[in-house]
Amino acid sequence: MSKQAACKLSLLFLLVTAISSSLMFKPVEAAVSMSATIIIRADGTVQPAGAPIQWNAALDIFTLTSDITTSALTGIIIQKDDITLNGGGHTLQSATPGTLNGIKLTTHARVTITAISITLFNTGITLSTSCSNCHITETSLSSNNYGIYLQASHHNTISGNNIAANTWAGIWLLGSQYNDIIENSLSNHLSSNFGGIKLEQMSDYNNIVGNELTSNKYGIYVLDSRYNNIFHNNFVSNTPFQAYVTSLSSSPQPCTNSWDDGYPSAGNYWSDWSSLPDNKKGPSQNIDGADGIVDNAYTIDASNIDHYPLKNPYGVYGLTINVDTTDGGTTNPTPGTYPHATGSQVVVQAYPDSSFNFAYWEIETATSTENPITVLVNRNLSLRAVFVPKIVIPVVPFGTLAVSLAMMLTLAGLAWFKRKPSS
């Protein structure tokens, strides 16, 4: 190789190395420091100017473009309906831990808050004074005093959030009704009588479904709140109380709530109850055979009973469905054993061969002619598709049939004629 070529090759190598290094070791972008509250106005403008939020006016989506550390009393105030605040995976953090609010809405509707981490505020996200139809989803809230706080706000959804290690409570509802709290992870709220979820002062008719409540002082604390539906949650190692219900001394009626979804959908998983036997099944749990439900109800108090506590954690792949067939067909999924989550619903369909018909399903001791069939997985299940041969009726050509009928009629006539008495 000539010296000139070698020189060019060396320069090329150095250039590639420099570019690669610049890509691999790009410095982490520093958080933007804010001393003033960021306000999303009703007309879509963002104040103050230069705040790290981009507005897609066509879709009404406001997206954070960097992490934010704020010394303002409230990090972001939303004054516009029908928008999405997308954190873009960024973090909103208080420079002075315990400062009022990370994000706050007052009397607004149809706002979605998503993909943001919020930490070190008094309250991570606040919806107050009749906020409605808002959605808080896929956020992370940690090391605040309260993760999410709803005050007199109704018909909102809190779903798919990771809420951990906030000082007082993960989710706190005060006088808030008809909200859905679904499939959140709430853990390590240990410092007060609040815990993972607190319902207080007529926080009625809420749905609390499919949540993981782990290692909190109280899994759920219910104070003077009624008619809530609480099922398919996993209560794991919440000490001293998995669930606690009480009412004010002036309250005229007990705090009655529903803690299961009936049979066989079942109730909640309680880690302090799962060691009890599952030897019975049926709505009254008095028929021999396991069904994935602990035989003994879980009693919080006389007005709050989970009649069908789950033997295994809800949504955990600890159960199986075994699918089998007789001769004459197959299934979808094909015959075999499949893991499924507790509480999941599984569709199985039978497909007969050309010379067979589907007859029915054998589901342990029961049968069903439904096809496809949907089964609820609350225990290990076995299904078998039963096929039967088709009954073949010979097809006689029309001409042959006509001749046969004519011959039969002729023979019948001759027989009658022979029996006819002579005159």
- CA neighbor of 206 nearest in space, from 165, 144, 242, 157: 157
How many Å apart are CA 126 and CA 169, to the nearest integer? 13
Place of tokens 């000539």: 2
Amino acid 392: pLDDT? 76
How many Å apart are CA 99 and CA 123, to the nearest integer? 8
Instruction: Express each pLDDT in 66-117 by its tens digit.
Output: 999 999 999 999 999 999 999 999 999 999 988 889 999 999 999 999 999 9
Given a contact cutoff of 8 angstroms between Cβ atoms, the answer to whether 86 and 114 are in contact is yes
pTM for the structure as a whole = 0.77
SS3 (DSSP) at 211: coil
How many Å apart are CA 14 and CA 20, to the nearest integer? 10
In single-letter form, the type of residue at position 39 comes to: I
Given a contact cutoff of 8 angstroms between Cβ atoms, the answer to whether 340 and 319 are in contact is yes
Handedness of CA 286, 290, 293, 299 (dihedral sign): positive
What's the residue count for the chain?
423
Given a contact cutoff of 8 angstroms between Cβ atoms, the answer to whether 132 and 103 are in contact is no
**What single string gives the DSSP state of each residue in 338-400?**
EEE-TT-EEEEEEEE-TTEEEEEEEETTEEE--SSEEEE-SS-EEEEEEEEEPPPPPPPPHHH
Given a contact cutoff of 8 angstroms between Cβ atoms, the answer to whether 295 and 277 are in contact is yes
How many Å apart are CA 366 and CA 273, to the nearest integer? 29
For residue 132, give the DSSP letter: B
Amino acid 7: pLDDT? 43
Q: Mean pLDDT, consecutive 10-residue segments, the chain of 423 residues?
A: 45 38 44 95 96 96 97 96 97 91 97 98 97 98 96 98 95 98 94 87 97 96 97 96 88 89 96 94 93 95 96 81 92 85 85 93 89 86 92 64 48 46 48
SS3 (DSSP) at 144: coil
- CA neighbor of 224 nearest in space, from 190, 192, 257, 195: 257
Token couple for 341 = 């989550």
List, in sequence order, every residue forming a beta bridge with 325; answer none if it has no partner. 385
Alpha-carbon distance values, 326 to 302, 353, 357 (Å) = 49, 11, 11
How many Å apart are CA 18 and CA 14, to the nearest integer? 6
Given a contact cutoff of 8 angstroms between Cβ atoms, the answer to whether 350 and 359 are in contact is no
SS3 (DSSP) at 130: coil
Assign domain 32-306 one CATH number from 2.70.98, 3.30.70, 2.160.20, 1.20.120: 2.160.20
Given a contact cutoff of 8 angstroms between Cβ atoms, the answer to whether 67 and 95 are in contact is no
In single-letter form, the type of residue at position 197 comes to: I
What percentage of the chain carries pLDDT values higher than 90? Answer: 71
Structural domain boundaries of the chain?
A: 32-306, 319-389
Phi, psi of 105 (to 5 degrees): -125, 140
How many Å apart are CA 47 and CA 295, to the nearest integer? 59
